[in-house]
Amino acid sequence: MMKKTMIAGLLALFSLSAAANETLVVGATPVPHAEILEFVKPTLAKEGVDLQVKVFNDFIQPNQQLAEKNLDANYYQYRPFLDDYNKSRHTNLVPVVGVHIEPFGAYSTKYKSLSELPEGATIAIPNDPVNTGRALVLLSEAGLITLKHPEDPQSTQKDITANPHHFKIRPLEGAMLARAVSQVDLAFIFANYALEAGIDTDKALIVEKGKSLYIEYLVARPDNINDPGIQKLAKALNSDAVRQFILTKYQGKIAPGF
């Protein structure tokens, strides 16, 4: 009888332990997002959360998969992009915590300065509405074009009022920009794709750094934002350990955003 009681007790303890473990599936782009998530995996495991990182190479699927509940959260985007996605796709994805800021820059394999760009040079920019405007604002600030509203991040090519050097502005999908840099004269590339492609972000001919508007967020849904696993992940991503990991591993190429 005692033996049966002990076995029952052990089974009950095992069941409680199993129930305490929560699986969290989080979508992320490879660098630095997935790397940062991998860094916090052991911390979450100690707290009963099995973090599974699903890597994506585009900017649409992580939000779509989250909205369809195939993911519990994602980590790859900043607020203007998220807001635009929610508006255009009629979703209600919500930011949880901001984690880091990436520089956004323009690179060239052919020229070492903007003054070397020839007449009619081809400039590749991101093709999504939010980042199109972001790139155009930087081109305007560099004096290469003139915009109707120079500081408006929602600017489109229709808002270009002067293009004295007849630059050809070519919109491309964000993930394609790093691969296209050698095929154009200048390409705007997100730091995550630049780092992944081995591009030295210190060699950008135009760079935007440290704008709080572009802090990258952990994102969830209204129905799960307060789940214990999501909150444990949020706490881990905003920890001193992650801050130090970002500072040490990326050497200033990206910065903590909390």
Domain chopping of the chain, boundaries: 22-102+213-256, 104-209
Query: Count of CB atoms within 10 A of residue 185's CB?
Result: 19
Question: Tell me: the pLDDT tens digits for 49-106?
Answer: 999 999 999 999 999 999 999 999 999 999 999 999 999 999 999 999 999 999 899 9
Q: Domain 22-102+213-256 classified CATH 3.40.190.10?
A: yes
Model's pTM, two decimal places?
0.84
What is the phi-psi region of residue 138: left when phi exceeds 0, alpha when psi lies from -120 to 50, beta otherwise? alpha
Q: Domain 104-209 classified CATH 3.90.1150.10?
A: no
Question: Tell me: the pLDDT tens digits for 112-121?
Answer: 999 999 999 9
Tell me whether domains 22-102+213-256 and 104-209 share a fold.
yes
